[in-house]
Amino acid sequence: MNIGVVLRQVPDLIEPLEVDASGTALDLSAATFVVNETDDHALEQALLLKESGGGTVTVVALDFGEVDNTLYTAAAKGADRILKLAWDESQSPTPHRAAAALAEALRTLAPDLVLVGVQAHDELDGALAPLLAARLGWPYVGVIRGVKQAAEGGSVVVCKEFPGAVMARLVVRLPAVLGILGAEQPPRYVPVSRIRAAMKSTRFEEAAHAAGTGPAGIAVTHMAPPPAGARAEMIAGSDTEVAQRIVEILAQKGLLK
Amino acid sequence: MSGSDILVLAEVHRGTLADITFELLAAARGLVGGSGGEVVALVLSENGAAFAPALGAADRILLVDHSALANYAPEPFLAALAEVVTARSPRAVLIGATSIGWDLAPLLAARLDAPLALGCKAISAEDSALAVTASFCGGKMVAELRIDRAPAVLMVLPGSFRAAEAAGKAQVEPCTLSASLEPAAIRFEEFLLPEAGDVDITQQDILVAVGRGIQQKENIELAEQLAQVLGGAVCASRPVVDQGWLPTTRQVGKSGMTVRPKLYLAFGISGAPEHQEGMKNSELIVAVNTDPRAPIFDIAHYGAQVDALELLPALVEAIGARKG
C-alpha cells in the first residue's frame, strides 16, 4: 500500500502566542513551530502499516516554519519519499489555502491512502483532513485511533474513537483520507545521530502548486488570549508552602481521611 | 422552514441522544430570538421517532429514518444532512464538536461551500450576520468571527451552553430524501467496548490527573503515590494516553471519560477545551501548571504555578505528616 502523509507546522503552545498588528491573526513571525501532534501520529501509523504490509510512505509538507527539521526526522523514521511544496512564508497556511496545494500534490502522487492529523490546534475556519478528501473526491472518516490492512484487498479497517473509551470498527474502501487522532503506538523516537545522517542522505523532492483562497462569508474581527486565571485562586509560595496550603484546603473540605 | 431557522443536528450514539444535543438546542433558541425563525432538530437514525419526546426544546423535529442510519458511517449521514440543509436553507447548522461532528461539520461545509467555524463557545445574531466566539490553540486564544453567509456551519464545543429543558411538544415531521443513504466506501462493523477490569474513574471521589507536564512514564508513579494516600485513582489527559503510559480507560475528556469527582487534582494539564469537557463539573478542582496562561486555571477553584514533579512528592509528604 502506498501511503501519503501530510505533516503540518503549528505554533508551539509551550511558547507564548502573540496576535499581529491587525489584531485578527496570530503573529507567526514571533512563533516557534513544531510538527502538528496528530500529524506525527499519522506518520507513525503509516510507518506501522508499511512495516506490516509493505508499500511506501511519502510525506508531503508545505515549505513553512521549521519544516526541514520535521522532514529530516520523518526520513530518519523511515519515510521513503519527501515532497516539499513551495509556500509564500508571508501567507498563513490556513486549511483552505493549504488544502488546494496539498490536494494537487496528492492527486499527482496518487497514493492508496492519505493519513492526516484529524485536527491542528490553530484551525479556526476549516479542517484540513476533510478538506483534502473533498478536493480529492475521496471518502473521509476522522477521529481514528488505529488502522490495519483489511483481509479483503483494497480496504483498511479503522477504529473510530467515541466517548467512554468506546471504539467503532469501520471498513474503509480505498482510496480514502483518514483523520488520525492517534497511532496504534506512540510516535517512535529517533536519535539525533540518525536525523543527522538523514540530513546528509535525504533529498527532498520539490514542487509548486497554487494556494487556495479562504472561505467566503466568514472573517475574524478580533483575536486575543483569554483572560488568565479567571476563576482560580492562585496559591503562591515554595513547593512545601503550596503543598501545605493544598492540604489545608483538602482538610477543610473533608477530603482527607 | 425559513431562512431564519436554526438547524440542530441531534446526535444519537449507541441508542441514546448525546448531551450535546440539548446544549445545541439552547444555543439555537438564543439565536432565533424574535426573528420568527424556528429551532429545528434533525434526527438521523433508525426509528428516530423514539427520541422526539426528549426534544421538546425544539419547535420542529425532522426525522430521517433509515436502516443505514442505525450506526454511524459518514456517507449516509452526510448525504442526509446535506440534502436537508439544501432543501430547508437554515440560517445556521449547529453540530457538536464530537467524534461525529468532527466528520460531519467540515464535510458539510465543504460540500455546500458554506462557512465553517470550529470551537464555537458563544454565538449571537447581529442583524444579517452571526457573531461567533471561538476558542482555538488549545484554549490559549479566542477569536471573534463574523459570518454573513448562510448556512453557517458551527461546530460547538460541548459545555458552552446550558442544556435546554424539554419545553413543549415539538411538531414532528418525517422527511423523505432523494439521496441514496446506503453506505458506499465506509461501512460500520461493530462497537468495541473497553475491557472490564481497570479502575472505573467515573466512580472515584478523588482523581489525580496527569498531563503532558508529567514528562515521562516513570513519573506517573509520583501521581500513583499521591492517589494512594488520598484514597483515589490516577487519570490522564489525552497526550499521556497517546504515549501509551496509561490505558484509554483512564483518559478524561472529549474522547475519554466524563468525571465529576469531589476532588480533581490536575498536574501538568494545560486544560484544552477537549479535556475540560470531561472534568469541569468536578466539585473541587486544584490545578498545578508552570504556565500561568494555562486554560485549566480558568475553571480551577485553586491553582499553583509550580512544577508538578516537585509538588507531587511534597504533597505526599505533607499529607503523610498531617495524617501522622
* Banded model confidence at residue A11, pLDDT cuts 50, 70, 90: very high
Report phi then psi at B132, rounded to 5: -125, 135
Cα distance between residue B228 and residue B316, in whole Å: 9
Cα distance between residue B53 and residue B158, in whole Å: 22
pLDDT attached to residue A151? 87
pLDDT tens digits along A18-43: 999 999 999 998 899 999 999 999 99
- Flag if A231 and B143 touch (Cβ within 8 Å): no
pLDDT attached to residue A157? 98
Residues in chain B with CB shorter than 8 Å from the CB of A232 are 287, 297-303
Cα distance between residue A160 and residue A169, in whole Å: 6
pLDDT attached to residue A194? 97
pLDDT attached to residue B85? 98
Report phi then psi at A206, rounded to 5: -125, 145
Neighbours of B126 (CB within 10 A): 10
Please report the ipTM that was assigned to this predicted complex: 0.94
- Flag if B103 and A242 touch (Cβ within 8 Å): no
Sign of the alpha-carbon dihedral angle for A52, A53, A56, A57: negative
Check: CB of residue A111 under 8 Å from CB of residue A42: no
Rounded to the nearest 5 degrees, what angle is found at the Cα of A92, between the Cα atoms of A19 and A89?
Answer: 110
Cα distance between residue A128 and residue A147, in whole Å: 19
- DSSP, collapsed to helix, strand or coil, labels residue B29 as helix
pLDDT tens digits along A185-239: 999 999 999 999 999 999 999 999 999 988 899 999 999 998 655 678 999 999 9
Contacts of residue A193, defined as CB under 8 A and 6 or more positions apart, other chains included, come to: none
User: By CA distance, what is B145's nearest residue in A?
Assistant: A220
- Flag if A228 and B293 touch (Cβ within 8 Å): yes
pLDDT attached to residue B248? 87
| Mutation site for B-interface testing, chosen from A40, A44, A124 by largest number of B Cβ within 10 Å | A124
| Mutation site for A-interface testing, chosen from B140, B153, B199, B317 by largest number of A Cβ within 10 Å | B140
> Pairing state of beta strands A166-173 and B186-192?
antiparallel
Q: For residue A203, give how far its alpha carbon lies from the nearest alpha carbon of chain B (Å).
A: 30
pLDDT attached to residue B194? 83
Q: Which amino acid is at A105?
A: A
Which is more confidently placed, A226 or B122?
B122
Cα distance between residue A63 and residue A223, in whole Å: 26
Report phi then psi at A56, rounded to 5: -135, 155
Mean pLDDT of B30-42: 90
CB nearest B143 (choices: A124, A159, A161):
A124
> What mean pLDDT is reported for chain A?
95
Check: CB of residue A77 under 8 Å from CB of residue A183: no
Rounded to the nearest 5 degrees, what angle is found at the Cα of B122, between the Cα atoms of B120 and B126?
Answer: 115
- Flag if B140 and A13 touch (Cβ within 8 Å): yes
- Flag if A233 and B301 touch (Cβ within 8 Å): yes
pLDDT above 90: residue B324: no
pLDDT above 60: residue B34: yes
pLDDT above 80: residue A5: yes
The order of strands in the sheet holding A233-234 is A233-234, B302-304, B284-288, B263-267, B206-210, B233-236
Mean pLDDT of A177-188: 95
* Banded model confidence at residue B183, pLDDT cuts 50, 70, 90: confident
- Flag if A229 and B297 touch (Cβ within 8 Å): yes
pLDDT tens digits along B154-177: 999 998 999 988 777 899 999 999
pLDDT attached to residue B32? 92
Sign of the alpha-carbon dihedral angle for B271, B273, B276, B281: positive
Neighbours of A2 (CB within 10 A): 19
Mean pLDDT of B134-150: 95
Q: For residue B59, give how far its alpha carbon lies from the nearest alpha carbon of chain A (Å).
A: 28
| Mutation site for A-interface testing, chosen from B78, B186, B217, B323 by largest number of A Cβ within 10 Å | B186
* Banded model confidence at residue A130, pLDDT cuts 50, 70, 90: very high
pLDDT above 60: residue B1: no
pLDDT tens digits along A41-86: 999 999 999 999 999 999 999 999 989 999 999 999 999 999 999 9
Burial of A225 (0-12, 13-18, 19+ CB in 10 A): middle
Q: What does B271-312 look like in DSSP terms, one character per residue?
A: --HHHHHHHTT-SEEEEE-S-TT-THHHH-SEEE-S-HHHHH
pLDDT attached to residue B72? 96
- Flag if A127 and B301 touch (Cβ within 8 Å): no
- Flag if B257 and A163 touch (Cβ within 8 Å): yes
Sign of the alpha-carbon dihedral angle for A143, B238, A66, A205: negative
Residues in chain B with CB shorter than 8 Å from the CB of A257 are 231
Q: Which residue has the cell 471561538?
A: B134
CB nearest A165 (choices: B107, B115, B248):
B248
Cα distance between residue A120 and residue A116, in whole Å: 10
* Banded model confidence at residue B69, pLDDT cuts 50, 70, 90: very high
pLDDT above 60: residue B66: yes
* CA-closest candidate to residue B310, choices A195, A242, A93, A14: A242
pLDDT attached to residue A228? 59
CB nearest A257 (choices: B106, B231, B270):
B231
pLDDT attached to residue A89? 86
**Chain pair A-B, CB pairs under 8 angstroms:** 283
Residues in chain A with CB shorter than 8 Å from the CB of B106 are 126-127, 129-131
Mean pLDDT of B215-232: 94
* CA-closest candidate to residue A139, choices A101, A117, A112, A119: A112
pLDDT attached to residue A230? 60
* Banded model confidence at residue B180, pLDDT cuts 50, 70, 90: confident
* CA-closest candidate to residue A37, choices A207, A183, A244, A184: A183
Helices (H), chain B: 20-32, 74-88, 101-112, 220-230, 238-242, 273-279, 296-299, 308-323
> What mean pLDDT is reported for chain B?
93
Tell me the pTM. Answer: 0.91
Mean pLDDT of B244-250: 90
Q: Which residue has the cell 503532558?
A: B212
Q: What letter does residue A54 receive in the DSSP assignment? A: -
Contacts of residue A65, defined as CB under 8 A and 6 or more positions apart, other chains included, come to: A9, A28, A31, A33
Q: Which residue has the cell 448525504?
A: B79
- Flag if A121 and B239 touch (Cβ within 8 Å): no
- Flag if B317 and A173 touch (Cβ within 8 Å): no
Of the CA atoms within 13 Å of residue B4, those in its CB half-sphere come to: 15
Q: What letter does residue A133 receive in the DSSP assignment? A: H
Residues in chain B with CB shorter than 8 Å from the CB of A168 are 71-72, 188-192
| Mutation site for B-interface testing, chosen from A12, A140, A148, A222 by largest number of B Cβ within 10 Å | A140
CB nearest B138 (choices: A121, A182, A215):
A121
Asked which of A62-76, A145-159, B247-261 is least confident by mean pLDDT, the reply is: B247-261
b/e for B223-233, b at 16 or more Cβ within 10 A? Answer: bebbbebbebb
* CA-closest candidate to residue A179, choices A34, A45, A12, A11: A45
Cα distance between residue B225 and residue B3, in whole Å: 58
The x, y and z cell numbers of residue B230, run together, are 488520598
CB nearest A134 (choices: B107, B115, B136):
B107
Check: CB of residue A176 under 8 Å from CB of residue A133: yes
Q: For residue A204, give how far its alpha carbon lies from the nearest alpha carbon of chain B (Å).
A: 29
pLDDT attached to residue A227? 67
Q: What letter does residue A219 receive in the DSSP assignment? A: E
